[in-house]
Structure 1
Amino acid sequence: MAEYNTLDDLEPDQRVLVRLDLNSPVEDGEVQDNNRFDRYSETVRHLADEDHRVVCMAHQGRPGRDDFVSLEQHAEILEAHVGVPVQFVPDTYGEAAIEAIEALESGEILLLENTRMTDDELPEKDPEEHAESDFVQTLAPYFDAYVNDAYSAAHRAHASTVGFPLVLPAYAGLVMDKEYEYNTSVAEREFEGQVTMLVGGNKSRDVIGVANNLGEKVDTFLIGGLPGQLFRRAQDYPVGYDTEDMDLLDDQWEETKDILYDLLENRGDEFDLPIDFAYPDENGDRAEIALEDVEEPMELMDIGHDTIDAYKPVIEASEAVFVKGAVGVFEMDEFADGTVELLEAIADTDCFSVVGGGDTARSIEKGDMEESDFDHVSIAGGAYLNALTGAELVAVEVLKANA
């Protein structure tokens, strides 16, 4: 039984306030459709079908950034996924919002304006403080229940994620429930066979946090991305240094080098590290170089095929494989081989598999794969990492406390 209430516990015909995470890329002022809308539409459609009056709230960008825009376009995209009208009001909790909420009929859907356009939303505060904010205190009396479906924002102590569960009956949405179940499975499930984690991305601290939290659960960590270079730098290879075109490595090295040395000395047999890399040649095409042939720092964009071929048998022998981050710059077709081919190996292996970490899920589209080839594809970034590292998800904790 879940430690929090789910939609199965929600009485029908309620006025429900639903927190979604529709934060999406914005290109030239146009909000881009993506799989988040598809996922969240399931919860919104379910609530409308149960004759609830559904009022959604979500965020987009941060003040001062180019992607900090209204949710008017989001309402149109969400409507296309839900299949029924989604009304929009350019207000969060003012008079216009209240009027639109009160006018809603059973089965109708309304999207409020960007939560981050209110001063109460963003400050990281204790749930009790957020519950006393004007935002929460003004909106809450108009609702019977609160549903948090925004797992990808569950690590944020914002008013819309932690304030409302203290003043309203609170429930986990379909996305929240599934993400939490699968993303904590590496720590909570028992596996009889080998457990492998493929870890990439651009932050060595992510790898360190995962390794420290899951060392007793994971048998082998397959390391790629920038952490793969930094681990090799700790072994005195001339990789993992900033170059003219990359400045993400030297600062990380200074922050984590002592921990990397310690991991390699005391737990080195848990980590499989790259033995070759891909880099752009003079034409920008993919070229590969063996680790021992690297003579000076250079721009390395992916693991090489010898590393891919070394990692595949480990995946194929695993009962469970978890993925956090891409092992290369997969956004560029020339350097997507490592990420795509290893994901294809996971998809082809009869193992329990969870894929997540920022935009990693987008790399599935580059290969001959479907999301259904994996047990779960997470749309969360920071919250997924928190689950893997054992850090608290404050929005989940308040749902548990509410229950």
Structure 2
Amino acid sequence: MNTLDSFDFKGKRVLVRIDINSEVRKGKPIGGMRIEKSSKTIKELIDKKAKVVVLAHQGRPGKEDFISLKEHAKLLNKYVKIKFVDDIIGAKAIDSIMNLKEGESVLLENTRFLNEELSPAKNIRDNTFVNTLAPLFDYYVNDAFSVSHRIQSSITEFPKKLKSCMGRLMEYELSKAGEIKLKDCLFILGGAKPDDAILLLKNKNVITTGVLANLALIARGFSLGKEDELKEKYEEALKEIKKNINNIMTPFDFAIEENKKRKEITLASLPVDSKILDIGSGTAAKYISKILTAKTIFMKGTAGMCEKEGFGKGTKELMKAVEMASAFKIVSGGNTATAMDSFKINKGRIDYLSLSGGALVYYLAGKKLPGLEALK
């Protein structure tokens, strides 16, 4: 695949897809590593006197985090000079693109404000998003490895129309992913999005937390109470978990909220009419003993609801153990990286800090990533 070294960008209009999808609090994005890391390719292109136009998304339609990129532009400006344009394919966007000077950059509005982003037309000729913007550019750069496991207009369709390459962040992600030895790996899988992690359950050494742990307990025949609602939502995932249940370690104690305080309970206390918000102290201790003796560690997702006071304990303890372990360590996912910042984990002790979450999981599971295939 081509890289930024493959082309001469001086004086050329370059369309760059990055991923700055961020946690949103009180209607505003929380700045994090994604924004800092994504700025590097933009800065390099600016230094090469390109005319840079940036595409990115935030959230999904109907969700609370589905907001404009106006505030993201302010966060990006801490690292690289970039102007925000509240348009994507209208006259305002086209005018800003056509009037760009060498070494200038603009960030267009949230790509998911266009229906065609998440649902590309089967025939490229019918894609208004791509057909409006592509003729205005000389090159397309995909620096969003973290979204490259999805078929989306800004990821898979522009390479059909433009000379394309990967950006520096994607180049780094792929080089580091190649160093991971799956055979000796201890997988610590958690978070609120279990779908992608299911692909890694065929590996022999899996520790579960978060929603995945709850599903694994259901697969083992436990009734959790309130969390049994997960059965309907993750019917297919449960089938995969049952197939691989012998590879999976599950929690044996948990933290729930009672009278606005953390309360730890055991398996014997289930079912409960409360959400499980964290792993318990006993589970954390058992998991830590596994972490400290592992040769390779892959961690994706938090152990509990870290943003809720009193329920980041499990995540913090596991992350501290990962930090101290002598293994080759990979930590994956934007929310996981944000939690590391919150708990002041020394990221210098992590061999590979990936912001890619699901995309890296797909890659490690041997799946083809549509975004990468489009660049070939």
Is the TM-score greater than 0.5? yes
Q: Is the 8 A contact 1:125 1:157 kept in 2?
A: no
**C-alpha deviations, 1:360-393, integer Å up to 9, x for none?**
2222123241332212222234323433444332
Asked if 1:158 is matched to 2:146, the reply is no
Q: Within 2, Cα distance between the matches of 1:374 and 1:394?
A: 28
Asked whether 1:100 is paired with 2:96, we answer yes
Asked whether 1:279 is paired with 2:263, we answer no
Which residue number in structure 2 is paired with residue 148 of structure 1? 142
Cα distance in 1 between the residues matched to 2:316 and 2:26: 29
Please state whether the residue corresponding to 2:112 is helix, strand or coil.
helix
Shift of the 283–190 alpha-carbon distance from structure 1 to 2, 3 Å rule, reads closer
Equivalent position of 1:78 in the other structure? 76
Q: 1:242 to 1:75 in 2, by over 3 A?
A: same
Structure 1 residue 399: Cα displacement: 0.8
CA deviation map 1:17-72 (0-9, x unaligned) = 11122333444444443322111111111111122121112223444555444333
Greater radius of gyration (CA) = 1
- Judge conservation of contact 1:223–1:274 (CA < 8 Å) in 2: yes
- Confirm or deny: 8 A CA contact 2:225 2:271 kept in the other structure: no
Q: CA deviation at 1:190?
A: 6.7
Q: Choose from 192, 198, 210 the match for 2:188.
A: 198
Report matched runs for 1:348-367 at 5 Å. 348-357=324-333, 359-367=335-343
Q: Which amino acid aligns with 2:215?
A: L
Given that residues 120 and 127 in structure 2 are in contact (C-alpha distance below 8 angstroms), is that contact kept between their aligned partners in structure 1? no
Structure 1 residue aligned with 2:163: 169
User: In structure 2, what is the Cα distance between the partners aligned to 1:134 and 1:256?
Assistant: 35
Match of 1:109 in 2: 105
Matched with 1:8 is 5
Please tell me the root mean square deviation across aligned C-alpha atoms, in Å: 2.7
Letter in 2 for 1:139: L
Question: Residue 231 of structure 1 aligns with which residue?
Answer: 216
1:302 aligned partner: 278
Q: Determine the C-alpha separation between the residues in 1 that align with 2:29 and 2:237.
A: 37
Specify the SS of the correspondent of 1:277: strand
Choose 34-43 or 115-124, whichever is displaced more.
115-124
Please tell me whether the aligned partners of residues 131 and 164 of structure 1 are also in contact (alpha carbons under 8 angstroms): no
CA distance change for structure 1 residues 35 and 259 in 2, over 3 Å: closer, same or farther? closer
Secondary structure of 2:134's counterpart equals: helix
> Which aligned pairs between 1:4-403 and structure 2 lie closer than 5 A?
4-13=1-10, 14-82=12-80, 84=81, 86-126=82-122, 129-130=123-124, 133-183=127-177, 185-186=179-180, 189=181, 194-202=184-192, 205-212=195-202, 215=203, 219-238=204-223, 241-243=224-226, 246=227, 248-251=229-232, 254-264=235-245, 268=246, 270-280=247-257, 282-291=258-267, 293-294=268-269, 296-297=271-272, 299=274, 300-357=276-333, 359-400=335-376
Structure 1: stretches of 5+ with no match in the other structure? none
Q: Which runs of 5+ in 2 are unaligned?
A: none
**Contact preservation (8 Å) 2:196, 2:362:** no
Question: TM-score, normalization: structure 2?
Answer: 0.88
The answer to whether the 8 Å contact 2:139/2:163 transfers is yes
The 3 A distance-change label for structure 1 pair 79 and 249 is same
Cα gap change, 1:125 to 1:345, in 2 (>3 Å): farther
Alignment coverage as a number of residue pairs: 374
Structure 2 letter corresponding to 1:249: L
2:272 alignment partner, SS class: coil
Following the alignment from structure 1 to structure 2, what is the Cα–Cα distance between the partners of residues 253 and 62?
A: 19
Identity of aligned residues (%): 36
* Residue 224 of structure 1: how far off its partner (Å): 1.8
The amino acid across from 2:113 in the alignment is: M
Secondary structure, counterpart of 1:334 in structure 2: coil
- Residues 96 and 208 (structure 1), Cα distance of their counterparts in 2 relative to 1, 3 Å cut: closer
3-state SS of paired residue (1:309): helix
For the 8 Å contact 1:125–1:158, the answer to whether it is kept is no
Deviations 1:132-166 (A, max 9, x none): 52332332232221101122221222222111111
